[in-house]
Chains A and B, each alone.
Chain A
Amino acid sequence: MALERSYQAILQALHDAGIGLERGVNLFAGPLRPGKSLACFVQSTGGQVQWLLSHDAQTEIATAQVSVWSPQDQAQAGWEIAYEALHALHASQIGGYYLCKVREAEPTPIGRDDSGRNGYSFNVELHGLRT
């Protein structure tokens, strides 16, 4: 099975998770965009390729950052959605990758954006075999 683009796989998994994130409504690919409402962004942050000599194959580790931004009066709601998103992704199998791993135990507060929204982020690794 071919590997999907990592951010697409994450976007779809979050959309399907039933945690109130919907593609194109409050769930977007790419960098943070200005706004006043709660929103989640998935951005690729690169990755690595390693040879698995024993399998004569390459393993690909794609990395991405998921960030959730919420207005100050919904700060806790933002953290909760980030937490739900983290647990929806961690240890899952999505987009043809054999492992989706989240590096952090809980979302990390990353300050406020220009609109005053509070941000929480976590980092995702997608492990897959290149065929």
Chain B
Amino acid sequence: MSRIRIELRGVEEVAKRLLLADRHLKQGVAAGVYALGENIRTESMRRTPVDQGVLRASHYVTPPEQVEVGRPTVRVGCGGGAAKPYALIQHERLDFHHAEGEAKFLENAAKREAQNAARTIGKHARAYLQRVAKGGSGGS
């Protein structure tokens, strides 16, 4: 009776690469979500009504955090500090007439950028995965 013997080499290397790819993918998605947040912030600032620019300057994006496993989250907002007393009113009052900017500036920015969400996140995830393909060791 003949026997076939197969010897697998490099299994450890493959496992190491897969783990690395997983890590890079998570980092890439988090970077993509952050980039999406930045895009919303930029678009919202462009749409913000301006008097002295306090409300526009109050925009922020928080760095990505893992609020739930596998779901990196950023927060995009505005209206803190000196803009606090009127930020919500400026956002919600549809009857105000603005020489520059509009009501619902943050909401409209989010609606617009949501259309590009998959593309933006995918672009970053791909770039991080390509590092593994090129033999990158990870980090950052």
Contact surface of A with B, Cβ cutoff 8 Å: 31-32, 43, 45-48, 63, 65, 67, 108, 110-111, 113, 119, 121, 123
Assess whether B93 is in contact with A45, with CB atoms less than 8 Å apart. Answer: no
**Extra pairs beyond A32-B95, A46-B104, A63-B107 (5, CB < 8 Å):** A46-B108, A48-B111, A65-B92, A110-B93, A111-B89
Number of interface residues of B (CB under 8 A): 12
Contact B93 A111 (CB under 8 A): yes
B66-107 to A contact mask, C-beta < 8 Å, 1/0: 000000000000000000000011001111000000001001
Complex formed: what's the CA distance from A48 to B88 in Å?
Answer: 22
The answer to whether A31 and B111 touch across the interface, beta carbons within 8 angstroms, is no
A108-B88, A110-B89, A111-B89 known; A46 vs B94 contact (CB < 8 Å): no
A-B contacts, 15 of them at CB < 8 A, read A31-B94, A31-B95, A43-B94, A45-B107, A46-B104, A48-B114, A48-B115, A63-B107, A65-B92, A65-B94, A67-B94, A108-B88, A108-B92, A110-B89, A110-B93
Question: Which residues from chain A contact B89 at a C-beta distance below 8 Å?
Answer: 110-111
Q: Which residues of A contact B94 (CB under 8 A)?
A: 31-32, 43, 45, 65, 67
Residue of B with least CB distance to A32: B95
Tell me which residues from 100 to 140 in chain B have a Cβ below 8 Å from any Cβ of chain A: 104, 107-108, 111, 114-115
Instruction: Give the complex CA separation of A73 and B94 in angstroms.
Output: 24
How far, in angstroms, from A110 to B92 measured CA to CA in the complex? 7
- Residues on B with beta carbons closer than 8 Å to the beta carbon of A119: 93
Known: A108-B88, A111-B89. A47 touches B95 (CB 8 A): no
A67 neighbours in B (Cβ, 8 Å) = 94
A67 to B92, CA, bound (A): 10
Most-contacted residue by chain A among B88, B95, B111 (CB, 10 A): B95
